[in-house]
Structures are given as structure tokens and as C-alpha cells.
Structure 1
């Protein structure tokens, strides 16, 4: 979920434009009690876009900031819509890329302060599922995962899985629906990124020969796209029939 938070009338006008342009977003005007509400969204992992001064944002979020590997992406815009600042989780949470998308969408200037700002991130979606998993289980989980890190399907470069899923009807349908390439890899190829996994399942290993399909496939897909070292920006999430993860690598 993307939360757009405005504190002034001018900010509200800009917020309405952003809300109309950003899928899976909600607009909040002067939420009360401000700190409690905003900190709650942050703890839930929602992507936050503030239209106000950066000082207000930092003072409000300071008590709940954990680490760049856990915190959701946070952007700040001025109420005139001239500047977009990725404030938290620039690389790990995707705020830099999200800020770029918002700046292009609104004709604003991106103010990037993190390292490697000249690099272009490439995002890859990895998924695993039960045989004949219905499309809604795949699509809902995918949209949930992307929303958690402030991405939209158009920012994803491809869908990846293990080769025993190469004929999985609804994975193929999902890729076709969102105009993604659908690429699968052998268990041997996926095992090369095992040290980068956030979790390892012995059950999955005994079943398919790799400790995690979604994370492994996303990581190998990201590496293949750029030739650079990949990293997870969404650790595996799951529902009763599918798993999903997002990886990223950087391309000059």
C-alpha cells in the first residue's frame, strides 16, 4: 500500500494528483493523531509519500526507524511539486527508483543523496507455487509484494521461477497479462545464489532441489539481466498456494 500524506491545502491538491496517478495508493489529509497514525503505517511496511517539510517527517519517524533492510521506502515532496526526495530505504526499499518514477510522472526534480545514484536498478519477480495454482493467488500475492516495496508491475523486468514450472499455466498467464518475459532455471542454476537467501526450507530442498524457489529465481533473474551482483529487496512472502520475492541489481 502507498500512503500519500498531505498537511496543507496546497499539498492536498498535489496529493489528489498523485493519488489519481499511483495505483494502490490512499490519500490522507492531516491524519490525527499524526505521529501515531504515520508511525503505524510505517510499522506495517507501507510505502510513504509525504507532502510537507522533511524535518516533520524525520522527527515523526525517528522513533520507529529500524534499519535500511527493514524500513519501507519514504519519499518527501514540497507542496508545489517541484522536488522529490528519497528520504529512507533508497536502495534496499526501492525509494530511489520510486522517487524517479514519481519525478517523471509529476515533472518534478529528483533530489538523490544516496550512493550509486547514477545506477539504474533492475527489478525481477520470483515466484513459486503449487501445481495448477489459480491465477488470483498468484496475482494478489504479486501485487501485495510490490506494494510493500513501493513498486508497480511496470517497474518489473520479468517473472522467474524453477524449470519444473516452465509449463505452469497461470504463471505463464500472469507474465502475459503484465507483458513480462517468463524465464525458468534449473535447480543447479538457482543453487548458485543460495548464500543470498533470507531463509532456507529443507522441505522445498527435498522437493525440488533448491532451498527457496521465489528468492532464488528472482536473484538469478536479476543477475542475468545486468551481470551485476543481485540483492533481495522483498524477502519471500507467501499465501496458501504461492510464494513471491523481488530482487534487484544495478545497471549503469
Structure 2
């Protein structure tokens, strides 16, 4: 997640600096930039270039500033509002698909504040279908149906998940078993459902959830064992609160194509691995990747795990877990748009 923190007062700026210091340590925060004063100018920039806006200011200023740009729960960024004293963190816009509710909980925990969340499913301790899709990195084919299904969930109606019988969907069942919010689900199986889809049905209403490609980019020192790489990957996906079965592909640079630990990991997990050509890595440009001058001097490329993951995930993909080191192993995770 790319986060913009916008403050107005000097006290707000102090809080922003404290918050940035904490967020920079979070592997799911790809970048965190600070903006001070000139709210209308910076809100316009942040609304279209960042995944989330944290506004440390009066709610009236924030609402008037974002109002001209609001379009849809599908595309609007998460917007949070915090008072200067850091007492309350209010999820203001895009609570579910934008991730504002989850981010409000995280920020409140970091600064010892009270999160304020008003969406019906959350306050009634129910799991919204859009929250499930967000958490499991699934696209929704018809977002207009979200309201119908969430209303049904609020009224304790049972919805049906239709799955392909040839796939075990461990990540879905693991998520549902661990989730503390209520949702009544029955499972149906049909070979007419693609293995990368989950069909959600109630009465004559239907939503198709489709897996976005998740790619784990791998880097490591020469000779690292499969178990070492696996442990790093497991820690990364645990931080994202997903089962390892949700990863669709592994990726690294072609200079690692004879790295036994990576090849063994691919076999162990039954997840294909893609070794990206050096020419593609040399040409790849992204403002979000961490550049290593050491890797550049040795191999002519600025990085391995982040660019490999992004290239393999496809055009316009984004990092959801930045390069993180685990005892000689580096892991990054990219998600298809």
C-alpha cells in the first residue's frame, strides 16, 4: 500500500512524522510520503497516486477537499481522518475494497488511538463479501451486487460458494475458519466453475470472485536451502494473513535458474517458478522498487525479488509486500491489477 499523510498544523506534522517512522518498518507499506499544508493541492495529487490518504486535520477540511474527486468504492483510495492529538482514527472512505477499515485498526494500534468504523457489517461483527475479496486478493465481476450480499449476510442468510471439485481451495477454507466475523456459508461443487474462481450465489443473485495472480519474488545468497527460502516466504505470507496455497507463482532472475533451493521449493509447494531474463530486468522501471547498488555492480540490475515479481505478475501489477530480508533470503510479493 502506498500511503500519503497530509497534515495542517505543527502538532499534526509531529504526529505525521511519528506515524511515518512506524509505517516505514511495515513490509506491506510500499512507500509513505508526508505532505504539509496546502491541503487542496496535495489531496488532489494523493487521491490519484496513492492507495491511502491519512489526513491529520479537522473532518470538515478533509470532506470538502476530497468531495470533488470521489467516484466509486471500487476505485477511490482509502481515506482516514485523525485529529491533531491522535485520539481517534476515523475510516472515512473506501472502508472495505479500499482497505480503510483495516488500515484504521492498524494506525490506531500504532499510535494508541481509538479506531472509528461505521460500516454495517463491521459494527455488527459480520464478514462482508467485499472484505473477503479484498483480504484474499480476489476481483469481483459485478460490484453492484455487493450491497445485496452484504445485506443478506447482515440478516443471517446462508450464501453458497460454488467451487471447482478439482481444486481444494485451502486458502479460502483456512480464511473462513480463522475469521472471527460471522458469515453463514454452504459449499457446492461444479466442474463448470473455473479453478481460479469462486461463485457466490443466493436466490437469483450471483457474484464471481476471481483470483488475482499473486507472485512471490525470491532472492537469496548462493546455496541457500529450500527450507531457508520456505521459512522466509512463510513469514511473508503470514504477515499478509493468507495461506501459502494462495500464491500462484514464484519468480526470480535468470541468474538464479540453477539455484537448487528455489527449484526444490517450487516442487515442494507445487507452485511454478519463472526465471526472468536479465534483459527484461535491466529495462524494467518502477518508482516503487528498492534499488541496490551492490546488485547493480555485480549483475547489471538494481534488484531481483521485487522486479521479478512485478514482471511475472503482469502489466500494471503492484507490490503488496516490499523486499524484506530473512537471513540471506529476500522476499517480495506482487499482485496482478
> What's the TM-score, normalizing by structure 1?
0.57
| Matched length | 179
Which residue in 2 is equivalent to 1:101?
A: 172
Offset of residue 118 of structure 1:
6.6
Is the CA contact 2:27–2:322 (under 8 Å) kept in the aligned structure 1?
Answer: no
Q: Secondary structure in 1 aligned to 2:131? A: strand
Quick one: which of 182, 203, 208 aligns to 2:294? Answer: 203
CA pair 83-120 structure 1, distance change in 2 beyond 3 A: same
1:125 aligns with 2:221: no
Query: Do the aligned residues in 1 keep the contact of 2:136 with 2:242 (CA within 8 Å)?
Result: no
Change (3 A) 1:126 1:96: closer
With over 3 angstroms needed to count, the CA separation of the structure-2 counterparts of 1:77 and 1:84, relative to structure 1, is farther
Following superposition, the deviation at residue 239 of structure 1 comes to: 2.0
Aligned residue in 2 for 1:148: 239
Out of 285, 310, 314, the residue aligned to residue 194 of structure 1 is 285
* Structure-1 separation of matches of 2:301 and 2:211: 29
Query: What residue is the counterpart of 2:320 in the other structure?
Result: 233
Residue in 2 that maps onto 1:215: 306
For 1:46-98, what per-residue CA distance to the aligned partner results, in whole angstroms no more than 9, with x for missing partners?
A: 99xxxxxx9x98986563589xxxxxxxx95966x6755529x94xxx55549
Instruction: Say if 1:144 and 1:77 are closer, same or farther in 2 by CA, change over 3 A.
Output: farther
What are the ranges of 5 or more consecutive residues in structure 1 without an aligned counterpart? Answer: 1-41, 48-53, 67-74, 111-116
Counterpart Cα distance in 1 of 2:102 and 2:325: 31
Q: Which has the larger radius of gyration?
A: 2
Give the structure 2 partner of residue 63 of structure 1. 108
TM-score by length of 2: 0.44
Q: Is 1:86 aligned to residue 157 of structure 2?
A: no
Q: d(CA) in 1 for partners of 2:293 and 2:327?
A: 18
Residue matched to 2:263: 172
User: C-alpha distance in 1, partners of 2:110/2:255?
Assistant: 41
Any gaps of 5 or more consecutive residues in structure 2? 1-21, 29-95, 112-120, 140-170, 178-183, 187-199, 202-207
Partner of 1:242: 329
Q: Alpha-carbon deviations, 1:190-227, whole Å to 9, x = none?
A: 2343314431000011112211100011111101xxxx
**What value does the CA root-mean-square deviation take over the aligned residues?**
4.2
8 Å Cα contact 1:76-1:85 kept in structure 2 = no
